[in-house]
Structure formats: structure tokens, C-alpha cells
Amino acid sequence: MNPYPLLVVTAVAAEAEAFRDLLDPDRIVVGAVGVGPAAAAAGTARLLATRDYRAVISAGIAGGFPGRVPVGGLVIATRSIAADLGAESPGGFLPIDELGFGTSVLDADPDLVKALRAALPEAVCGDVLTLATVTGTGETADRLAARFPLAAAEAMEGYGVAVAAEGAGVPFAELRAISNPIGPRDRESWRIPDAFAALRAAAPALDALP
């Protein structure tokens, strides 16, 4: 068995507290690193610099693409994509890949994805978008759905965590519980307790990761 612990990072403390007590503290370290890709990257890098970890998981709640994942469902990221990292142009959005400045797409570790899929067969696998500004209109939701036909969810931290993990040479994965459909912003329709319940239900899968 790998002697190093697993690092699970969330954006805010409420997400971490949703399932921390269900995990073996000797095998899994859970920490909140902040909201947004920059805070997530910096906070994850700081934690990775303090000790050795066998892998890092970005976990928390997210918005789900309607028709692709239900509210209260789980998403396992196959890729974490910085969906708004690039430039506007008269012909549409240009990702940094097309600008020649790097990549906006980072693959999740295939062994971690395989293990999560085996432990969480009800979860949806797909791309998870990272956005500094989350979707609040139907127009934006439709545009993202067209640009990213494999996207299942959007959140604000996964790509940042993935960048930190890649820089440290540590395997990365992302697990999201869906609290709301993306589209017009309507907080009255959000089901955050259901998403937290889904995170808690997924805790044994995290505890079982190699």
C-alpha cells in the first residue's frame, strides 16, 4: 500500500466538513484552499509543498449541464478544462491552445478515474469546466454546451488544482456533486443539501482509492 496520504481539496470549509469525518485521517488529508482557479492553484501548491502525497483530488459541489447529469448526482472528471482562459475575437472565443500560450485542458489521471468509476458506478464521467465567472444565463449555458459537448459540470477550482498537481508531479482527479443546473441564476432552486449528501455518499470511494 502506498504509504503517503491522499490530498482532497475543496474550495470552502463547508465542503470539506461535509465528508471529512467519514474519511480515515491517517490516509486522507482534507483541506479548503479557496474559491476560484488562482486560489485553488496557490492553495494546493502550498499543501503539496508541505509533505508527500500519493495523489490530489479536487472535490466539492458544482453546477451540472441539464440533460447530462441530474441535480444530486456525481461527476467524475475525465478532463479539467479552463473554459474561459483565452481571448475574445470577432469570430468567437479563442482558447489559449489556439493562441499558442499553453493548454486549457488537463487530463485526469486514468488510474484514479478508473478507480473512482469502479467505486461510483452511478456517477457520470465527462469534462468538468473551470470558470472564474460561473454561468448565470441561458445564453451562456447554451454556448458552453455547444463548445464542450463532453462537459458534464462546471465549477471554479478543478483546473487550478490540476495545474498545481501537474507542477508537483502528483496524480490528479476531480469529483463533483451537482447542486444546481447551470443556466439562469436561481438560488432558490439550488439543492445544496442534496449535493452535500452526495459528497458524503462518495466518501467510501475516496477512502478506497489506492
CA nearest 155: which of 120, 195, 115, 194?
Answer: 195
What integer pLDDT is reported at residue 97 of this predicted model? 92
Please say whether the structural domain 6-207 has been given the CATH code 3.30.390.50: no
Q: Where are the domains of the chain?
A: 6-207
Q: Map grid coordinates 454546451 to a residue.
A: 145
CA nearest 199: which of 6, 2, 10, 3?
Answer: 10
CA nearest 59: which of 133, 121, 112?
Answer: 112
Cβ atoms within 10 Å, residue 16: 19
Per-residue pLDDT of the chain (210 residues; tens, 9 = 90+): 678 999 999 999 999 999 999 999 999 999 999 999 999 999 999 999 999 999 999 999 999 999 999 999 999 999 999 999 999 999 889 999 989 999 999 999 999 999 999 999 999 999 999 999 999 999 999 999 999 999 999 999 999 999 999 999 999 999 999 999 999 888 877 899 999 999 999 999 998 888
What integer pLDDT is reported at residue 185 of this predicted model? 84
H or E segment to which residue 63 belongs: strand 55-64
Q: Collect all residues with Cβ–Cβ distance below 8 Å to 47 and sequence separation of at least 6.
A: 7, 9, 29, 31, 33, 53
What integer pLDDT is reported at residue 208 of this predicted model? 85
